Amino acid sequence: MVVFFTSVTTNYIPKARALAASAKRHNPDAHFMLLLSDARPAWLDLDQEPFDSVVTSDSLGIPQFRQWVFKHSVVELCTAVKGFAFQWVFREMKADKVLYLDPDMIVYAPLTPLLDRLDQASILLTPHQCEPEETHEAIVDNEICSLKHGVFNLGFLGLRNSDEGRRFADWWAARLEHYCYDDIPGGIFTDQRWVDLAPCFFDDLAVVRDPAYNVSTWNLTHRTVSGDPAAPLVNGQPLRLYHFSGFDSGAQGDMLKKYGGENPTLWAMREWYIAECERLGQTELGKTPYAYGTYDNGDKIETRHRIVYRGRVDLMKAFPDPFVVEGRDSYLKWYQREMSDDAAMLGTSVPVELLRQEYSKTRDELTRIVHSRSWRLARRIASLARLLRLA
């Protein structure tokens, strides 16, 4: 049995629909699973969807699930569940081969060569770049970016249900359980940086350098896309898997202008993708809040709330369900009482990760100091820098 899956919250279902439809079109015998880190919407009817099954992340067997979810932002959450999902699919569905695909991907041709390659290797990875960059600008944009975020793009991962494949899934899930955070200064970027270590730990692993897979703006310097936008070629061969990464931030358009130039095929693919996601419900669902984004009274959970909580074992013991607001065991009430003042932000009990984040954020406001003479902000930056040196 072959299983494809992607990991989303409800607002990403339109993108997941586009991916699943393309995957099933070219790989009709594969089972496509939607992994949903959200409450399952009542309107989600599999008879009307391109998905073969829907699994919510609270059913994956993650220990102390509500505490664990609270520690993660939405991006961190949707990546942290991936290792557990591989374990679950191997265990519950008895799948022989499993491919993870990011929801902002489109399959343009059969992925049979990848599935065949899993007969020879238990682990398949695709690097962001397969050839060295040649200009300073591309080195900064692509190679240094990969050094920060991870050498391999975990928008794709293929595993075989073998001893080595399961060993990888177990190792990766264990790392993601405790260390799947967006903390580049601290050495990790969600799930990706961990897999930089995989070639050191696992022998039965293949790095897929075929330019047909994981084509995106970060490797267009060496990949020429041409032909029919519905069945494009890359370097003269069928393009199989394209990654429309960066749509939400706007980076996809900016980087496509920079490295795709006026390539008519690439721009036609982008326009089709925008229209397809819109047809599949982007306007309707794209701003849907997810179940783990607020406390149970509706107040938004700020990133700093999550960072403080996950950095202190005493808080996890004191507030076993941090989403709950009423009653004595309310983490939000504790946070508002103890952490609301800027002075508390500079306290020694604050996790170093939050200090780094605050320092980076306030440092970016230095230009405002020049214009507004905000010496209070300058003192705050200096205090943060001093604490970072001591941490």
User: Hey, where are the domains in the chain?
Assistant: 2-285, 294-340, 342-391
Token output for 298 = 């509706």
For 214-241, what is the mean pLDDT? 96
Confidence of residue 371 (pLDDT cuts 50, 70, 90): very low
- Position 352 confidence tier, pLDDT thresholds 50, 70, 90: low
* 96-105, 268-277, 315-324, 370-379: least confidently modelled range: 370-379
Q: What is the pLDDT of residue 329?
A: 77
In this predicted structure, the answer to whether residue 350 has a pLDDT above a threshold of 80 is no
pLDDT digits (tens, 9 = 90+) for 87-101: 999 999 999 999 999
CA dihedral 92, 94, 98, 101 (to 10 degrees): -30
Percentage with pLDDT > 90 across the chain: 79
**pTM for the full predicted model:** 0.87
377 or 260: which carries more pLDDT confidence?
260
pLDDT of residue 251: 85
Mean pLDDT of all residues in the chain? 90
Q: How confident is the model at residue 372 (pLDDT cuts 50, 70, 90)?
A: very low
pLDDT single digits (tens) 189-199: 999 999 999 99
Residue 268: per-residue pLDDT: 97
Residue 3 has pLDDT above 80, yes or no: yes
> 238-242, 280-284, 339-343, 346-350: which has the minimum mean pLDDT?
346-350
pLDDT at residue 224 greater than cutoff 70: yes
195 contacts 86 by C-beta, under 8 angstroms: no
Higher-confidence residue of 211 and 248: namely 211
Averaged over 10-36, what is the pLDDT? 98
**CATH says 2-285 is which class?**
alpha beta
Residue pLDDT, tens place only, 94-147: 999 999 999 999 999 999 999 999 999 999 999 999 999 999 999 999 999 999
Residue of 169, 22, 242 lying closest to 4 (CA atoms) = 22
Six-digit token string for 54 = 């829907």
- Whether residue 96 contacts residue 2, with contact meaning beta carbons closer than 8 Å, is answered with yes
Q: How confident is the model at residue 14 (pLDDT cuts 50, 70, 90)?
A: very high
